[in-house]
Chains A and B, each alone.
Chain A
Amino acid sequence: MDVQQSAQPAAVIQTETPPNMRRKWLKKLISQRYLQVMALLGIAWMIIFNYIPMYGVIIAFKDYDIIGTISSAPWVGLEHFKEFLTDDNFSYVMKNTLGISLLKLLTFPLPIIFALFLNEVRSLRFKKAIQTISYLPHFLSWVVLGGILATWLADTGFINDVFMALHLIDQPISFLAEPNYFWTIVITSDVWKELGWSAIIYLAAITSISPEMYEAATIDGAGRFQKMWYVTLPALKPTISILFILAVSGVMNSNFDQILVLHNSLNDSASNVIDYYVYNMGISQSRFSYSAAIGLFKSVIALVLLLIANQVSKKLNDTSLF
C-alpha cells in the first residue's frame, strides 16, 4: 500500500501524456494500415500452420480417435510414452536413429577439409568448375538418388560388376536387401550428395579472411599447410561451431527423406529410425496419439541436445547460437 501511494505522484504526471500518445500511436497505426495487413497475413499463416500444430501436440497425452476432436479426447497422461519405452521396437529404432546420426556427425569435418583444399586450387576457373560440379547432387531429389543407388547397387550394377571383376566376391550381393550394408550406404550417399553444398559456407568464410593475414604468415615463413592450420582454420572456428551445434541438435533427425526412399522390409532392422516409425505408426496405421508421443519424445531430446551443444560451445570457444 505504502509503495503504491508513494508511486502516485509519478503516475499523475504520466496520465497527462497517454491520450496524446495514444492518438499519436493510433495515427501511426492508421498510416501504416497497408503494412499491418501485410504483416498480419503472415502472422495468421504462422498461427494456423505453426502454432495450431504446436497446440496439437497435446494429443500425445490424450487418447485421440479419428472421429472426435482434439479437445474432446480423454487425457491419458504419459501412457503412450510408457508404451513406446517398453516396446520391443524401442531399442532397435533408437539404435538405428543414434547410430546413423552419430556416423553422419563423424563425416562433419569432410566439407571443411574439402573447402580447405579447394581453396588452395590456383586456377580460378578450375576452382569455379569444381565447385559447380560438386554441389550439383544437392539439387537431385532423394527419390532420384534412390533410383541411382538402386541401379548402382543392383545385381548387375556397377558395384557388383567391379567387385566380381576383382574377384572380391563370387556371387552378386543385393546390397539394399541386406541390413549389414544399410548404414554404409546411407552415410556414403549422404556425403556424396551434400559435400559440395556444405562446403559453400566454409568457402565463403575463407574468402572473407583478410589477405594480410596470409601475407604476414608468409613473411614469418609459414608453408601452405601451416597457413591452413594457423590462419584459415582458426578463422573458420565460429562458422564450424555454429554448424556443429546445429548438427548435434539434428542427431535425432537422421534425414527422413533419405531413409524413406532406401527403407524396405528386408533392411528394416537397420533402417527403421524414429522418424520412419512415427510415419509408419501415424500415417499408415492411424495410431495418431501414440506416434505423436514418439514425435514429441524425439523433439524434446533434440532440444536438450541443442541446449547442451550450445552451452558447451559457449564455454569452449565463446560462440553460440543464443
Chain B
Amino acid sequence: MFLTSRRTKGEFVFDLLNNILMVLICFATLYPIWYVLINSFNDGKDAMLGGIYWWPRIFSIENYKAVFNNAGILTAMWLTVAKTLVGVFAHVFFTAMVAYAFSRRDLIGGKLYILLGTITMIFSGGLIPTYLLIRDLHLLDNFLVYIIPVLFSFFDLIIFMTFFRDIPDGLEEAGRIDGANDWTIFLKIVLPVSMPVLATIALFHGVYQWNDYFTGIIYINNESLQPIQTFLYRVVAQSSSNIMTTALQGNAVTKSVTSQSVKLATMVVTTLPIVFAYPFLQRYFVKGMMIGSIKG
C-alpha cells in the first residue's frame, strides 16, 4: 500500500494480498453481528421475509420496546447485573486475598498449599458429584449458587501471585515498620498497587458471570432467579417461543413484533454491556492472559 524504494515488487504484492486477507477476516467477524443488529431494528413481520443485508428495510424500535416491557426479561436482566457485580467483587477480593498469602515465600506450608491447588487444575469430580455437593449445601434455587462455587479460581490465583511477587519488597516493609499487620498491608498497600491485574481478573470473571447460562439451567428452577443468558437459552436453543409469545400478548401496541424479532433485540441488549466494557478493559486482558498462560 505504501510503496517505498526499499520494497520489491514481490513484497508489494504480498503486502497487498495480506492486507486484503485481513480486511476479509475482519468483515467475516463483524458481519454476522451486524446482520443480527440490523434485523433487530427491522419491523418483525417484514423481517420474516428475509433479504435484509446492509440496513433495516422498515426501521422500527418496537422490538426493543417489547423487550423493555417484558417483566420476565427485565427481572432476568437485573439478576444478571446483580450477580455480575457481586460475583466479580467477591471473586476478585477472595482470590486476591488467598493469592497474597500464597505469594509470600516464607509462608509455612506454602509449598503444600500450592500443590493442593495444582492438583485441582488436573483432576475434578465432574458434573454429577458437583451437582450433588451443591444440592447438599442447599444452594439449589439460591442466589448464592452464582457466587460461592466460583468464589475462587486457582488459575486466577496464579496470575495474581505472579503479579504480587513482582511488587518491590521495600513497599511492604515500609508498611511493616509503620506497624501494619499482613491484613492491613494486603488491603492498604498490595491491592492499590495491583489495579492492572485486578482489572484483568475482574474483566475475565465479569465476562464469565455475564455469559454463564449453565448454572441457571442446572441449579435453578425458580424463574425469578434466572439470569438473562439462561432466559435466552430457553428461548433460543429450545425454540420454545411460547415464552416469548406469552410475553408479547400483554402488548397490544406491538402488532408488528414477532417472537423472532424480540429474540434478536434481547440478544442485542444482552450483548451491549460487553461491547461497552470492551474498549476500556481490553488493554488489560491481553497482558493478563499472557501471564496466566506462561506460568500456568
Contacts and interface: CB of A to CB of B under 8 A. Distances in A.
Given A126-B19, A147-B264, A42 B49 contact: no
Contacts of A109: none
B101 A35 contact: yes
Given A139-B278, A151-B264, A56 B132 contact: yes
Interface stretch (A84-92, A100-108, A116-124): A116-124
A117 B28 contact: no
B229 A121 contact: no
B108 A29 contact: yes
Contacts of A209: none
Interface string A268-292: 0000000100110011000010011
A134 B29 contact: yes
B148 to A, nearest CB: 8
Contacts of A308: none
B239 interface: yes
A143 B229 contact: yes
Interface string B115-157: 0110010111111111111000100000000000101101001
A282 B238 CA distance: 19
Interface stretch (B81-89, B163-171, B245-253, B266-274): B266-274
B50 A59 contact: no
Given A42-B152, A152-B32, A279-B127, A200 B286 contact: yes
A42 B113 contact: yes
A147 B127 contact: no
Contact of B108 (A28, A49, A150): A28
A249 to B, nearest CB: 10
Contact of B236 (A35, A150, A291, A298): A150
Given A117-B18, A141-B211, A130 B25 contact: yes
Counting contact residues on chain A (CB < 8 A from B), the size range is: 35 or more
Contact of B129 (A57, A262, A264): A57
B28 A139 contact: no
Given A36-B101, A136-B278, A139-B207, A161 B113 contact: no
Counting contact residues on chain B (CB < 8 A from A), the size range is: 35 or more
A160 B11 contact: no
Given A28-B108, A56-B132, A148-B32, A42 B263 contact: no
Nearest to A290: B128
Given A34-B183, A148-B33, A53 B124 contact: yes
Contacts of A117: 18, 21-22
A41 B182 contact: no
B100 interface: yes
B97 A41 contact: yes
B129 A143 contact: no
A132 B22 CA distance: 12
Contacts of A130: 22, 25-26
B210 A39 contact: no
Contact of A56 (B107, B108, B125): B125
Nearest to B292: A201
A259 to B, nearest CB: 10
Contact of A147 (B26, B51, B154, B263): B263
A155 B117 CA distance: 49
30 contacts: A32-B104, A35-B182, A38-B100, A42-B117, A42-B152, A42-B157, A49-B133, A52-B125, A52-B133, A54-B123, A55-B125, A59-B129, A120-B18, A122-B2, A133-B26, A141-B229, A143-B236, A147-B267, A148-B36, A156-B51, A161-B50, A201-B290, A204-B286, A257-B214, A260-B217, A260-B237, A282-B127, A288-B131, A288-B132, A298-B126
Interface of A: 25, 28-29, 32, 34-36, 38-39, 41-43, 45-46, 48-57, 59, 70, 114, 117-118, 120-123, 126, 129-130, 132-134, 136-137, 139-144, 146-148, 150-152, 154-158, 160-161, 192, 195-196, 200-201, 204, 223-224, 256-257, 260-264, 275, 278-279, 282-283, 288, 291-292, 295-296, 298-299, 303
Given A39-B110, A133-B29, A204-B286, 4 more contacts: A38-B97, A42-B98, A126-B22, A278-B127
Q: Which 4 A-B pairs have the closest CB atoms?
A: A53-B125, A56-B129, A156-B50, A42-B98
